[in-house]
Amino acid sequence: MTIDSTDMKILSEYVKNGRLSFREIANRIGVAVGTVLSRTKKMEKDGVIKGYSAIIDHEKLGYELTAITEVTVSKGKLLEMEKKIAKLTNICAVYDITGLTDAIIVAKFHSRKELSSFTKALLGMPFVERTNTHIVLTTVKEDFRLI
C-alpha cells in the first residue's frame, strides 16, 4: 500500500485523538468525509491501522516498575520463546535484537515481588539461558506515536 500526504494527515489526527469522528478529521485536514472514511477503511484492511486505544499513565494504575530484560536463548528456539514471552502478563514489548543477547523485553510491574516472579518464570523456561534485567529509574519519554 502507498501512503500519501492525505493518509499521513488522517493518521496524524488518529494518533492525536483516536476518538475523532470521520467528520471531525475531514474538517481538520480539509477533505471530504467520504475520503476519510474510505482511506481509514483501506488502512485498517491493509494493516496500517492495527487498532485504536487509549494512552494510559501506567504509574497511576500502580505500575511502579518498568523493567528492560535482555534474554539469551539457546538451540535456535528464539522465535518460539519470544512468542511464549509475548503472551505473559505485564509485557509491553518483545524485540528480536542484534548483539550479545537475543531479545529485549519491556515490561511493567506493580512491585519487586511481581518482577521477581516474572524473572524466575523466564529463567524457568526451557532454552532460556540467561537474563539481564535493567530497572528504569526515570522515564524521560515513553511515546511510540511517531506521526
Residue 141 lies in a domain: no
Query: Scanning the structure block, which residue is given the C-alpha cell 524473572?
Result: 119
Do 71 and 99 reside in the same domain of the chain?
Answer: yes
Q: What pLDDT was estimated at residue 106?
A: 97
For residue 145, what pLDDT is reported? 83
Range of the structural domain that residue 130 is part of: 58-135
Residue keyed to cell 512468542: 83
Same domain, 71 and 117: yes
CA distance linking residue 147 with residue 132, whole number of Å: 32
- Regarding whether 125 and 82 lie in a shared domain, the answer is yes
Query: What pLDDT score was predicted for residue 113?
Result: 97
Instruction: Assign 144 a pLDDT band (cuts: 50, 70, 90).
Output: confident
Decide: 101 and 70 in contact? Cβ < 8 Å.
Answer: yes
Residue 146 is assigned to a structural domain of this protein: no
The CATH number for 16's domain is: 1.10.10.10
For residues 84 and 118, membership in a common domain is answered with yes
Write the single-letter amino acid at 101.
T
Q: Report pLDDT digits (tens) over 60-82.
A: 999 999 999 999 998 888 999 99
Tell whether 131 is covered by a domain. yes
Tens digits of per-residue pLDDT, 29-39? 999 999 999 99
Q: What percent of the chain has pLDDT over 70?
A: 100
Is the pLDDT at 1 greater than 80, yes or no?
A: no
Radius of gyration over every alpha carbon of the chain, rounded to an integer in angstroms: 20
Predicted local confidence at residue 132, as pLDDT: 97
Q: Are residues 65 and 127 in the same domain?
A: yes
Q: 61 and 69 in contact (C-beta within 8 Å)?
A: no
Nearest-angstrom CA–CA distance, 77 and 94: 15
* In a shared domain, residues 72 and 41: no
What does the pLDDT average to over 91-117?
96
Residue 90 maps to a domain: yes
* Mean per-residue pLDDT over the chain, rounded: 94
Q: How far apart are alpha carbons 33 and 55 in whole angstroms?
A: 26
